[in-house]
Structure 1
Amino acid sequence: MQRKVDPEGLAAAAFLAFLATAGLFYVNIMAAIVDGLVSGLAFTDAQAGQVAAVNTYGAAFGAAVSIFTIARFDWRKTSILCLVILVAIDLLSILSTTPMTMIGIRTLHGLVGGLLIGTGMGVIGRTANPDRSFGMLLFVQFGLGGLGVMFLPRLVPLYGVAPLFLSLALFSLVTLCMMPFLPDYPPRSVAAPIKKAGTVQWTPLVLAISALFLFQAANMGLLAYIFRLGTESGLSRDMTSGALGLATWVALAGPLLVMVLGRRFGRFPLLLAGMLLTLGGNALFHWSQFGEVYLLANCATGITWGLVVPYLFGMTAEFDGTGRTAAAASVISKLGLASGPLVASMMLGGGAGFAELINTALAALVLAMLLMLPPAIMLDRSARRPSELLPQGKVTA
């Protein structure tokens, strides 16, 4: 009989982090994949961005499906099936050489990967301490993503796109090997305050979700081409990949700040500071021909990405007395991650340059900031007077 790990131990948290990451790990090395498709398969910038977009749109749809399957099917069997299919799709992607074929293959990958992500997140929600698993999830994504963008682009000139998709297949295989050690994690009853219907605060909720969409789209639209931006600005491939890898690890400071500070100082001041740093960091990309500036810009935007997103997710849950919109926010987030590269590919394919792309991202981030700050102020005030927001009790992130 296979020995299981402690369901609430660090090993279980790490295994669950791999499970919830495997279906979307390509996002963490998106810059390397886009560059690989351009330099390795001679795709245009627009075509490479479209591949990235459909992969993530598929994940959004797959994650939406998981909302219904997690309660009806055994999560372990679903996960194993998804992982096996993902390995096969990643290996098949190595053989693809045309944009249309690659778009079709990666769309299917997104659907299966999204289903796996939703299943993994559902299992994390069944643990007694999901916050720790979520923290581990960020470390896995940022840490291994940093390794990916640091080393994979250097292999493309030698071996083509094969190392990119092999790394994704290897990640799924490693996750597959972890599955027998995970406990069953059956659904558990949670004692929660009874909420009356109609407690959704629609105006601030729509503002928060809209801000989440814009923030994710603006950041991912630029991130998908961030390696191309570096090389096109005159930086060497080694310098560019090294800067991206280091920045990904530095970005761990963002989620660490969320875990350490929590709501001690309220959401508004942290979101305001985070967004101002985001805007400054993105503006620095205009001077990417200077290696130090390029590194600083990536570090600043990486830290604030890991800082702002958790607070936005928490806000979407706070304004819903039933808790249903937390799952919907995850889908909206993925739609934003997919829409950014799609819009960027259309801009670059239409003759715009990286300067225009940076300015568009800045404009979207300014709008996102204007949308997220009013509901943040409302929540900070309600924390001092809890009865004003949801009389029946509040739902925490």
Structure 2
Amino acid sequence: MLRNIHQDSLLNAFFLSILATAGLFYVNLGGSFLSAFVDGLSIERDAAGFIVSANKYGAAFGGLLAAIFIKKLIWRKSAYTLLFILISIDIISSQIPNANLLILIRFLHGTIGGFLVGIGLSVIARTSFPDRVFGMLMVVQYSFGSIGIFTVPRLVDAFGYSAVFFVLITFSIMTLLILPLIPDPKEKEETVSSSGVLSLHSKALLGICLMSLFLFQASNMGVADFAFELGKDIDLTNNEISNLLTIANIISISGGAFAYLIATRFGRTLPLLFGFTIASLFTYLLNFSENITIYFVANSVTGITWGFVIPYLLA
């Protein structure tokens, strides 16, 4: 069964995108994840923000660990182990009503998830066309994120804040079922010098790229986490916010699709400059979100640019 799927096929790109999404799926739920804690635990926005941030700081730490240990691991066996741990932590999290304790356990969850994302990205990097697979990754994240943003507020209303964790568990189980179908990546030729050390110029470019990725992700995630709360401030109901952001998220899928279709036809610098400029402009427009049209359009366009820029930075 494993041999029937070609490494560079569209189906494998989809499966790899699922794998690389599993550890950070809560990010794709947007502000509905944070809003669930505000409403379900009756805590302040800053406390809920700490819980969500702990997840993301843990993911950054987990990604760093993955970069260090990835070559020493068997990727498929490691992914199985990490997914089972993620499911266990989500089950435990669903039974904890204390915000301070949740901060600690979500940091642990983020660390495990970040490590899993690192494994997924390392497999993607060994495909023939990583730019395209990263574009598919954005399409997958926004597609499932749209489903999550639409359903999570309604599930929280019906079952309480713990519903968000069972959404994450469902995605992890789906990833476990897909994992056996992903073919092992073919080894690619080394692109570094015979000594195995990158040149000073390459290190400088890598550093700039990583810093750009960090800053771009930080700015977008920070805004996205409070998108729901911003909607509440202009007197929208949870369902109205959910509907608007779901549509915005569906529109945002086009960003990843553009990256998949364009690939490196225009290089990487021009698409990145274009994406950064548009993202900055429409992030600024969120300051005028008391106008519902601006709120909707700004969320849609920043989502499009997010999905468009990230594949180029990752590749």
Name the structure 1 match of 2:145: 145
How many Å apart are 1:94 and its aligned residue? 0.9
Of 62-71 and 298-307, more deviation after overlay is shown by 62-71
Match for residue 100 of structure 1? 100
Cα drift, residue 42 of structure 1: 1.0
**2-side partners of 1:272 and 1:133: how far apart?**
21
Whole-angstrom distance in 2 between the partners of 1:6 and 1:218: 37
Partner residue in 2 for 1:302: 303
Q: 1:220 Cα deviation (Å)?
A: 1.2
Please say if residues 239 and 291 of structure 1, whose CA atoms lie closer than 8 Å, have aligned partners that are also in contact.
no
Match of 1:200, SS?
helix
What is the alpha-carbon distance in structure 1 between the residues aligned to residue 178 and residue 78 of structure 2? 14
Give 1:285 deviation, angstroms: 2.0
Equivalent pair of 1:80/1:176 in contact (CA under 8 Å): yes
Q: Is the 8 A contact 1:243 1:298 kept in 2?
A: no
Residue of structure 2 in register with 1:227 after alignment: 228
Confirm or deny: 8 A CA contact 2:132 2:261 kept in the other structure. Answer: no
Alpha-carbon separation, structure 1, partners of 2:188 and 2:310: 28
| Aligned-partner residue type, residue 131 of structure 1 | D
For 1:385, the equivalent position in structure 2 comes to: none
Alignment of 1:110-125 (within 5 A): 110-125=110-125
Task: Report how far residue 310 of structure 1 moved.
Answer: 3.3
SS of structure 1 residue aligned to 2:72: coil
- Report the Cα distance in structure 1 between the residues aligned to 2:120 and 2:84, rounded to whole angstroms: 15
Q: Per-residue displacement from partner, 1:355-386 (whole Å, max 9, x unpaired)?
A: xxxxxxxxxxxxxxxxxxxxxxxxxxxxxxxx
SS at match of 1:128: coil
Report if the CA contact (8 A) 2:36-2:153 is conserved. Answer: yes
1: CA distance, partners of 2:188 / 2:209: 29
In structure 1, how many angstroms separate the alpha carbons of the residues matched to 2:4 and 2:277? 43
> Structure 1 residues 263 and 135, CA, compared in 2 at 3 Å: closer, same or farther?
closer
1:250: which partner in 2? 251
1:216-239 CA distance string (max 9 Å, x none): 212211111111110121112222
Q: Which amino acid aligns with 1:144?
A: F
Percent identity, please.
38
Q: Does 1:89 align with 2:93?
A: no
Give the CA deviation at 1:132: 3.6
8 Å Cα contact 1:22/1:113 also seen in 2: yes
Show CA shifts across 1:99-156 (max 9, x none): 1111111111111111111111112223334334323211110100011112211222
1:176 corresponds in structure 2 to 176
Structure 2 unpaired stretches of 5+: none
Q: TM-score, normalised by structure 1?
A: 0.72
Unaligned runs of 5+ in 1: 314-396
Q: Find the counterpart in structure 2 of residue 190 from structure 1.
A: 189
How many residue pairs get aligned? The number is 312
Write the distance in 1 (CA, Å) between the matches of 2:20 and 2:224: 21
Determine which structure has more spread, i.e. the larger CA radius of gyration: 1
Q: What does residue 24 of structure 2 align with? A: 24
Deviation string 1:163-215 (CA, Å, 9 cap, x unpaired) is: 21101000000111122223333x61416474785342666655544333222
AA at the equivalent of 1:275: F
* Structure 2 residue 286 is matched with structure 1 residue 285: yes
Distance verdict in 2 for CA 1:188–1:262, change over 3 Å: closer
- Whether the aligned pair in 2 keeps the contact of 1:36 and 1:161 (CA below 8 Å) is yes
CA contact (8 A) 1:234 1:289 kept: no
CA offsets 1:48-82 (integer angstroms, 9 cap, x no match): 11111111111111111112332212111111111
Say if 1:235 and 1:289, in contact at 8 Å, map to a contact too: no
Letter in structure 1 aligned against 2:220:
N
